[in-house]
Amino acid sequence: MSRPPLPRRPIVWRNALFLTVFPAVAVAATIAYGLTVGIGWAEVIAAIVLWWLTGLGITAGYHRLFSHCGYRAPAPLRFVYAALGAAACQNSAIAWSSDHRYHHSETDTDGDPYDATRGFWYSHMGWIFREGPQGNDYTNVPDLRRDPILVWQHEHYLAVAVVTNLVLGGLAALIGGHLLGMLIVAVLLRIVVVQHLTFLINSAAHVWGTQPWSKGTTSRDNWFLSLFTLGEGYHNYHHSFQADYRNGPRWYNCDPTKWLIWCLSKVGLASDLRRAPVDVVLSTRFEESCRSLAARLEGWGAHTAEEWSTLLEQKREELRCRRDQFLEGLREGKTAMRDQLLAAQAKAELRLAELKALRAAHRDGQRRAADAKTTELRRAIERELTHLRRAIRQAQRSASATLRGWERLARDYSAGVLPAGSPA
């Protein structure tokens, strides 16, 4: 179905030149440097490391944190993301996230800044040449406009981008290699490569791949793309569950960004990791399987319609049974988990009561020591107090470990995470 052409919005010359002249300069400089001085392993390794660092600034920072609030991060980490994201030269976090939120809310329509139904080239980079459908309307990112780090980065975007790239390139040269070679290969060429890898998610991940979660948009799951895009290739899942901090939900899905966020949460640098509840994920998949089966059968000849409809009903029944079994397992898992949670709560209360009793005994001992009539008696009470202090320290450690376990269970229980051994 043909669509009316887009209104001709003004060309943004700064973007147009940056997307054409800059790559030409980067490639020409790399070839010239390679032919005259020679590119060594140091430059190649530095380019890969900076690709990962600035790429994660985009995927873990701009995308999953700023655009989708898939988790929470403290100010120092948000600052690092702002600096690394700027070094990827893909606009400020506020502008990038605003476009991206419009992409999710208006997918495949004229309001989608990188509408994939306008063709591969348009969604890849053509859209950047002209002003977007919403212009510079950032009203869809009020939360980001309240973050002083992101406001600062937005206002000084160019300076942050240049300084971070110079610092990264300079550090790479200090560790090993010529400064010029590092600036050409690990900075200029790497910027172009990382840009196009990000662009591929807007273009290729809306054209090639599977749609196991929803056919409601053109988004696709493409594991191959994930190998080069730090896990962003599972784009059909992402469009279906955009607030999930994971793009590849299964443990074996190659999603380095998800692994990074998980590791950060283990050292206290990320919290409130959001996951789509497992029963919602399963129901979505079930509905989509039913829809695609029905669509496939519809096109297979009218004369066998009755046979096909019986088969369809059988298949639906099979799927329904599997879903019910799963949900039953889930309910049992949830009940088991609630029991675990209650037991952990009782244990925590017991530990705290023990701690309280020990502290009371310690206070009592201190009083008795103060009132002791003889030195001998005071010494005996002080020995008792030393034992009590050791017991209090042990009880404190044990109570905080029990509380941590209880907190973890409570978090998993409310997030709908299945206990180990449940069907998945």
Binding mask 212-251 for Zn ion (x = CB under 5 A): -------x--------------------------------
User: Which string of b and e fits 9-35 if b means at least 16 CB within 10 Å?
Assistant: eeeeeebeeebeeebeebeebbeebee
Distance (Å, whole) CA 52 – CA 39? 20
Contact 9, 131 (CB under 8 A): yes
Residue indicated by tokens 């910027």: 191
Instruction: For Zn ion, give the closer residue by CB, 54 or 59.
Output: 59
Which alpha helices (DSSP H) does 70-146 contain, by range? 75-87, 93-105, 120-121, 127-129, 142-145
Kindly give the interhelix angle for 41-56 and 157-175, rounded to the nearest 10 degrees. Answer: 140
* Burial (Cβ within 10 Å: 0-12, 13-18, ≥19) of residue 266: exposed
What are the residues facing 210 on neighbouring strands?
221
Nearer to Zn ion, 54 or 202 (CB): 202
Site for Zn ion in 180-219 (CB under 5 A): 219
Minimum CB–partner distance for residue 239 and Zn ion (Å): 6
Angle at which helices 375-415 and 305-371 cross, to 10°: 170
Q: How far is the CB of 68 from Zn ion (least distance, A)?
A: 6
Q: Smallest gap, in angstroms, from Cβ of residue 272 to Zn ion? A: 18
Instruction: Tell me which residue has its CB nearest to Zn ion.
Output: 219
222-253 burial, b at 16+ Cβ within 10 Å, e below that, comes to bbebbeebbbbbbbbbbbbbbebbbbbbeeeb
Report the residue count for the chain: 424
In whole angstroms, the minimum distance from the beta carbon of 202 to Zn ion comes to: 6
244 vs 288 by CB, closer to Zn ion = 244
Residue closer to Zn ion (CB basis): 198 or 219: 219
Q: Which is nearer to Zn ion, 47 or 194 (CB)?
A: 194
Residues 298-337: x where in contact with Zn ion by CB under 5 A, - otherwise, as a string? ----------------------------------------
Shorter beta-carbon distance to Zn ion: residue 113 or 365 = 113
Comparing CB distances to Zn ion, the nearer of 89 and 225 is 225
Nearer of residues 112 and 147 to Zn ion, judged by Cβ:
112
Maximum Cα interatomic distance, the chain, rounded to a whole number of Å: 107
The minimum distance between CB 238 and Zn ion, in angstroms, equals 6
- Binding-residue total with Zn ion (CB under 5 A): 1
Q: Least distance (Å) from Zn ion to the CB of residue 413?
A: 28
Structure tokens at 127: 């859209």
Minimum Å gap between C-beta 198 and Zn ion is 11
CB 147 to Zn ion: min, Å:
18
Positions in the binding site for Zn ion (CB under 5 A)? 219
